[in-house]
Structure 1
Amino acid sequence: MNMKPYVKQTIENEVAYIEFYHPAHNSLPGDVLAELAQTITAAGENKDVKVIVLKSGGDRTFCAGASFNELININDEATGKVFFSGFANVINAMRKCPKFIIGRIQGKTVGGGVGLAAATDYCMATKFAAIKLSELNIGIGPFVVGPAIERKMGVSAMSQIAIDANSFYPAEWAQQKGLFTQVYDTVEELDEAVKATANHLCTFNPEAMIEMKKIFWSGTDNWDNLLAERAATSGRLVLSEFTKEKLKGFE
Structure 2
Amino acid sequence: MSDPYVNIEIDNGVGTIEFFHPAHNSLPGDILAKLAQTITEAGENDEIKVIVLKSGRDRTFCAGASFKELININDAETGKVFFSGFANVINAMRKCPKFVIGRIQGKTVGGGVGLAAATDYCMATKYASIKLSELNVGIGPFVVGPAIERKIGLSAMTQIAVDANSFYDAEWARTKGLFTKVFEDIETLDVEIKAFAEHLCTYNPEAMKDMKKVFWEGTEHWDTLLADRAVISGRLALSEFTKETLKRFK
Class of the TM-score when normalised by the shorter of the 2 chains: over 0.9
What amino acid is aligned across from residue 24 of structure 1 in structure 2? A
Structure 1 residues without counterparts, runs of 5 or longer: none
Write the distance in 1 (CA, Å) between the matches of 2:98 and 2:201. Answer: 10
What amino acid is aligned across from residue 35 of structure 1 in structure 2? K
Q: Which residue of 1 aligns with 2:22?
A: 23
Write the distance in 2 (CA, Å) between the matches of 1:204 and 1:189. Answer: 24
Write the distance in 1 (CA, Å) between the matches of 2:249 and 2:12. Answer: 44
CA RMSD of aligned residues (A): 0.5
Q: Which residue of 1 aligns with 2:136?
A: 137
Q: Which residue of 2 aligns with 1:50?
A: 49
Report % sequence identity. Answer: 77
Write the distance in 2 (CA, Å) between the matches of 1:196 and 1:250. Answer: 43
Equivalent residue of 1:36, what SS? helix
Write the distance in 2 (CA, Å) between the matches of 1:209 and 1:139. Answer: 40
How many pairs does the alignment contain? 250
Q: TM-score, normalised by structure 1?
A: 0.99
Taking the TM superposition and a 5 Å limit, the aligned residue runs for 1:1-251 are 3-251=2-250
Deviation digits for residues 125-160 of structure 1 (CA, Å, limit 9, x no counterpart): 000000000000110000000000000000000000
Equivalent residue of 1:99, what SS? coil
Deviation at 1:229, TM superposition (A): 0.1
Deviation at 1:250, TM superposition (A): 1.2
Equivalent residue of 1:140, what SS? coil
Equivalent residue of 1:249, what SS? helix
Deviation at 1:169, TM superposition (A): 0.1
Deviation digits for residues 24-81 of structure 1 (CA, Å, limit 9, x no counterpart): 0000000000000000000000000000000000110000000000000000000000
Deviation at 1:241, TM superposition (A): 0.3
